[in-house]
Amino acid sequence: MLRIITQSAEIDTELQRIRDRPYRDEIQAKEVAVGEILDRIKHQGDQGLFEPFDTLTTPTNLKVSGSDLDAAYQKIPKELLDAIQTVTQKLESFYQQQLPKPWVKFEDDDVVVGKRYTPVKRAGIYVPWDQGSPISRVLMQTLPAKIAKVPEIILVSPPDETGKVPPDILVAAQVTGVNQVYRLGGAKAIAALAYGTETIPKVEAITGTGGLDVILAKRMVYGTVTTDTPVDASELLIMADETANPSYIAADLLAQVEQDPSSAVIILTTDLTVAQHIQTKVQEKLQDNAHGILCEKAIAHYSLIIVVESLEQAINLTNQFAPYYVMLTLGEPWDVVEKIRTVGSLFIGSTTPKTIGDYLGNGGVILPPSGLIRYASSVRVETFLKPSHLMEYSSAALKKLAHALEILALAEGLPGSADAISLRSLEREDY
């Protein structure tokens, strides 16, 4: 049952419980096992990938063949292919706007400063098929890499019970420009991408989410490669007033938890009647939902309706909780937009469901969990780019700044830095 909280004393306790919910008791035990997998593959390569009697996957069939890639098109409905192509076009336009532009500025005294962006040589994309939205996971990782002009994009996905990667993933990978696809899952896949094996080439950047083993593996290989933000579980916060449509909000809640049963939905409303109607609508919709039992458990554990005293209190709680997704189902939503400081994707108005963003460019399900949005972000074009600053100072320009720079260097106890400046600022070069 979706609970309604009306007592302010419970609010902080419940929000903290939800924020701390995923995996906390499992992490310590799992870290050792994941570390052993990473170490084995780092030193043994392909040999470290396989358990004894593993007959579904071997070094010779890790890579998905061209014939399997071609056959995948025949295994999905034409309507699905058309939908993938339509959304891909929309997303390419969206991500194109994210592409940062290099710049160069010519200043006085022949000073040149600038910035450039270089794509990583090879990107590794991890896509599990046994979690929600596998097609979206492909699109929202590979397209930013494509727009960044990454020369080689590798997708790794665990095989199903027949040893195959599902055809919808294979089609989405081809439509979006993936160069190679491999059958491998869990921490092994992350290790193979990070360190490279005889079969799977080493990458420079890894993105994607999965179970706890994938999360921990990504944390452990960070530094060897760059990774996106480690993902635990996502949150959707919905702000509603008396104008909100309870049926819409109930549908939004179910849309979120069916993607990931560990995700949470927090509804903040100023109207107790609206809260009660939402609660009723959620129970009604659960009866007809294909994931009803699973969703019901997730809602009971991780979702809440909080009745607040004012819109200002709702804004303050939103900024404190710092969810990735925020929906403003308010009569005057634009009055609130500038007051929401910590948010990854903001959906404005009752006719803008969060599902729009799932398919059309807010990072989808590849995103940081609650609180991390203060300093992290979802997979984006910049994830696959390495920025470099450019500087050129003429002798005249350096001389004008030399004294100030030397004073600063000496004040910080860096005589070598001061000397590097003073030698170049002398009127007569003395080697």
> Looking at the structure, do residues 44 and 186 belong to the same domain, yes or no?
yes
* Entry field: residues in the chain: 431
Which of these three, 227, 258, 280, is where a domain ends? 227
How far is Cα 316 from Cα 8, in angstroms, rounded to an integer?
13
- Is residue 407, in this structure, part of any structural domain at all? yes
Same domain, 237 and 178: no
What is the model's pTM?
A: 0.73
Find the helix packing angle between 292-302 and 246-259, rounded to 10°. Answer: 100
Residues 144 and 219 in one domain: yes
- Dihedral through CA 136, CA 142, CA 146, CA 148, nearest 10? 100
Are the beta carbons of 146 and 177 closer than 8 angstroms? yes
Q: Are residues 60 and 147 in the same domain?
A: yes
Residue that terminates a domain, selected from 211, 227, 243: 227
Question: Which residue carries 């069916």 as its tokens?
Answer: 258
Closest Cα partner for 304 from 29, 34, 1, 97?
1
Quick check: 133 and 162 in contact, CB under 8 A? no
For residue 133, being part of any structural domain is answered with yes
In a shared domain, residues 105 and 197: yes
The tens place of each residue's pLDDT in the chain, 431 residues long, gives: 899 999 888 898 888 888 776 555 567 778 888 999 999 999 999 989 876 545 555 556 899 999 999 999 999 999 999 999 999 999 999 899 989 999 999 999 888 889 999 999 999 999 998 766 789 889 989 999 999 999 999 999 999 888 899 999 999 999 999 999 999 999 999 999 999 999 999 999 999 988 888 988 998 999 899 988 655 557 899 999 999 999 999 999 988 888 777 778 999 999 999 999 999 999 998 887 777 677 888 888 889 999 999 999 999 999 988 888 899 999 999 999 999 987 778 889 988 888 877 777 554 444 444 444 444 456 888 889 988 888 888 889 889 989 998 999 899 898 888 898 888 887 544 54
119 and 215 fall within a common domain: yes
| Residue-wise DSSP of 339-369 | T--S-SEEEESTT--HHHHHHHTS-TT----
Does residue 12 lie within any of the structural domains?
yes
Domain boundary among 195, 227, 259: 227
Q: CA–CA separation, 26 vs 30, rounded Å?
A: 6
User: Residue 382: inside a domain, yes or no?
Assistant: no
386 within a domain of the structure (yes/no): no
Find the CATH number of the domain harbouring 200. Answer: 3.40.50.1980
**Residue 388: per-residue pLDDT:** 84
Q: Please state the domain count of the chain.
A: 3
* Residue 39 identity (one-letter amino acid): D
Is residue 376 assigned to a domain? no
Same domain flag for 317 and 345: yes
Residue closest to 216 by CA, chosen among 383, 71, 50, 35: 35
Question: How many beta carbons lie within 10 A of that of residue 158, not counting itself?
Answer: 20
147 with 193, same domain: the answer is: yes
CB 57 within 8 A of CB 183: yes
The answer to whether residue 387 is domain-embedded is no
* Residues 44 and 191 both lie in one domain: yes
Residues 335 and 270 reside in one and the same domain: yes
Are 173 and 254 found together in one domain? no
Distance (Å, whole) CA 427 – CA 222? 47
Q: Identify the domain containing residue 418 by its residue range.
A: 393-425
Q: Is residue 301 part of a domain?
A: yes
Three-state secondary structure call for residue 112: strand
Q: Is the dihedral of CA 395, 400, 401, 403 positive or negative?
A: positive
216 and 342: one domain? Answer: no
Task: Give the β-pairing of 111-119 and 385-392.
Answer: antiparallel
- What pLDDT, on the 0 to 100 scale, is given for residue 231? 52
d(C-alpha 336, C-alpha 318), whole Å? 11
